[in-house]
Structure 1
Amino acid sequence: MKIIRWLNDHLEEYVLSGLLVVIAGVMMLQVIMRYVFNNSLSWAEEASRYAFIWSALISIGYSIKERNILRVDTLIEALPRPLRNLMTNLGNLTVVAFFGYLSISAVPAVQRVMRSSQTSPALKVHMGWIYLAAILGFFLATFRAVQRLRADFKDSSGKAEL
């Protein structure tokens, strides 16, 4: 149970930190190789791009978890509390539906890539591993949006009883 709680609290932070280290390390190595040794790496740009893709998709769930997802709440804050709670829950439900749809829609696309023999040009990594970031990122976003919906619904129902 401790492991699940730790993963719930810190999974995205550690994955995103690791991906940032990979991007920075590979780019620093590329700069050193190019300007000090006058010889660039053929795979550095591709590795950084794929790490960036993974970090962009994983960060969606983290943004939802930390309440940093982009939204305009000026109108919502002006509403009375019961209506504000309703609008917040409807917004959360919309986010759940949107990322749930993307999660489901990403599966056939990734399956097609997995069945192909396409590999990346420089790294020779099967492209299915790169596209897998879409499924994982959208699923994680859906999971975090469900958690947010549950927490906000619990908060709004608890405040309404007071």
Structure 2
Amino acid sequence: MFNILNKTVGFINQSIAAFGITAGVAVSFTNVIARYLFDASLTWASELSIFLFLWSVFFGAAYCFKKDAHIAVTIILDIVPTPIAKVMLVISHVITLTYLAAVSFYGYKYLQLVIDLEERSVDLDMPMWIIYLVIPISFALAAYRVGERLVIILRTPHELITQESEAEMILARLGEKGENTENKNVKELNDMVKDVEKKTGGML
């Protein structure tokens, strides 16, 4: 059941994020062509593209929680003992989960207010509750992903708790794609990245 739910949540996040960015770019491009080639601006295009980009960003952010792709400064986690690192990760994920759930809940409450006020968009004359629906849904899906991640952390022994940096993930992908690369070169690259990370505070 959880496997089906995970696939469903992932499909929703990916599909809406991809459709939003694609449709937003298409609408903006069409409006530019109409304005400069045919001298006929589409008055509703700007508002629609904003709404599409908005949905794309929120659902894209929710998808990033699945991939653990949000920016994270892990310099403290790298230097503290692994039991403490696990506790810190649990606390940070609990705080994140609480925040996402709260925004989702109050976003739903605000949605009810917008419905009661019968607020509509200026150019599209669309009910604004349809647009604001992105907040409770995307934050609820993001909260689910963080909760899923929290369970994984709780089940993982503290010795295996590691937070891969963006640089380390890139190195891992390079290693998978270039198996014929000499070990010496990989080691030198790895040492160089770690040295840069120390100097930049883990912001690479």
The whole-number CA distance in structure 1 between the counterparts of 2:41 and 2:47 is 13
Larger-Rg structure: 2
Instruction: Show structure 2 runs of 5+ residues with no match.
Output: 162-204
2:157 match: secondary structure:
helix
The whole-number CA distance in structure 1 between the counterparts of 2:54 and 2:6 is 26
Pairing 1:92–2:93 present: yes
Pairing 1:33–2:30 present: no
When residues 86 and 3 of structure 1 are mapped into structure 2, their CA distance, relative to the original with a 3 A threshold, is closer
TM-score normalised by L of structure 2: 0.72
CA contact (8 A) 1:16 1:55 kept: yes
Cα shift readout 1:32-85 (whole Å, capped 9, x = no counterpart): 101111111000000011112212222221121110122211111111111111
Q: Give me the CA root mean square deviation.
A: 1.9
Residue 23 (structure 2) aligns with:
22
CA contact (8 A) 1:61 1:145 kept: no
Higher relative contact order (CA 8 A, sep 6+): 1
Alpha-carbon distance, 1:157 to partner: 6.0
> Amino acid of the residue matched to residue 16 of structure 1?
A
The whole-number CA distance in structure 2 between the counterparts of 1:113 and 1:90 is 34
Counterpart mapping for 1:3-82 below 5 A: 4-82=5-83
The whole-number CA distance in structure 1 between the counterparts of 2:6 and 2:86 is 27
The whole-number CA distance in structure 2 between the counterparts of 1:42 and 1:60 is 29
TM-score normalised by L of structure 1: 0.90
> Greater shift after overlay, 94-103 or 4-13?
4-13
Identity of aligned residues (%): 24
Alpha-carbon distance, 1:127 to partner: 0.5
Counterpart mapping for 1:103-114 below 5 A: 103-114=104-115
Alpha-carbon distance, 1:105 to partner: 1.5
Cα shift readout 1:2-42 (whole Å, capped 9, x = no counterpart): 75453244321121111111111101110110111111100
Aligned residues: 160
Instruction: Show structure 1 runs of 5+ residues with no match.
Output: none
2:133 match: secondary structure:
helix
> Greater shift after overlay, 22-31 or 1-10?
1-10
